[in-house]
Amino acid sequence: MKQYPISRDAWCYLAILASLIVLAYWVWPWLIILPGILFLFILFFFRNPERDISTDELMLVSPADGVVMDVERVFEDQFLERESIRVRIFLSIFNVHVNRSPMAGEVVFRAYRPGQMIPAFKSHASELNEKNYVGIQNKHSQILVTQVTGFIARRIVCWVNKGDNVVKGERYGLIKFGSCSEIFVPTNVAIMVSPGDKVRGGVSVIGRVSAE
């Protein structure tokens, strides 16, 4: 999928706001302030920067920009179906909201669950909120990444489907206006982040898969 500096999901909002700016200017120039501010905010929120991605096949990179909320062992029952390590990342409205694949591989699992809109930083948001699951597999490992909506977020966008191949750091979707992203990995992955760490999607190393 072709990528642009501003995600295509913003284009409809920008077109509407641009029309409102033109209309407001003809009615009374000062009226352009509010739609103008919203126009700039949408440009900022939907920014889609290029990133330098590590080529090390055993390194798993962050699926999102944000702050690591917790790292814990859980039983993942959607795809991995075994004890796993979950790294949960909170995205504020100031973070880049494009999600990236932590590793190269084939999308072998995809599921969606409707849900509530609890603030994404709450510990129980993952269990109750709207959520999208993407399972990726390669010769080294299997992982699951999720997109979880938050209090403001109202729509999950996912650009990949089961059977697609992704490269490490490839953009696979976004969540609009505040959210949470999770990565579930096998217990043989050495986690390299801690709660409170700031991470960048496609750049920050979440963990390293054991070569054994």
184: CATH: 2.70.70
The Cα–Cα gap between 200 and 67 comes to: 9
The CA dihedral of 169, 173, 176, 182, to the nearest 10 degrees, is -60
pLDDT tens digits, 53-90 = 988 999 999 999 999 999 999 999 999 999 999 999 99
Whether 166 is covered by a domain: the verdict is yes
Instruction: Give me 125's structure tokens.
Output: 């948001």
> Does residue 83 share a domain with residue 37?
no
Would you tell me how many other CB atoms lie within 10 Å of the CB of residue 132? 20
Longest dimension (CA), the chain: 69
Catalytic site residue 204? Answer: no
The Cα–Cα gap between 48 and 189 comes to: 29
Candidate from 126-140, 149-163, 173-187, 196-210 with smallest mean pLDDT: 149-163
> Does residue 137 share a domain with residue 37?
no
Q: How far is CA 44 from CA 5, 92, 187, in A?
A: 10, 13, 37
- Please give the residue range of the domain that contains residue 125: 59-209
Stated pTM of the model: 0.90
Question: Which residue of the set 84, 141, 179, 181 is catalytic?
Answer: 179
- Predicted local confidence at residue 179, as pLDDT: 81
Instruction: Give me 84's structure tokens.
Output: 């796993």
In the chain, how many domains are there? 2
> Does residue 67 share a domain with residue 33?
no
> Does residue 179 share a domain with residue 109?
yes
Whether 53 is covered by a domain: the verdict is no
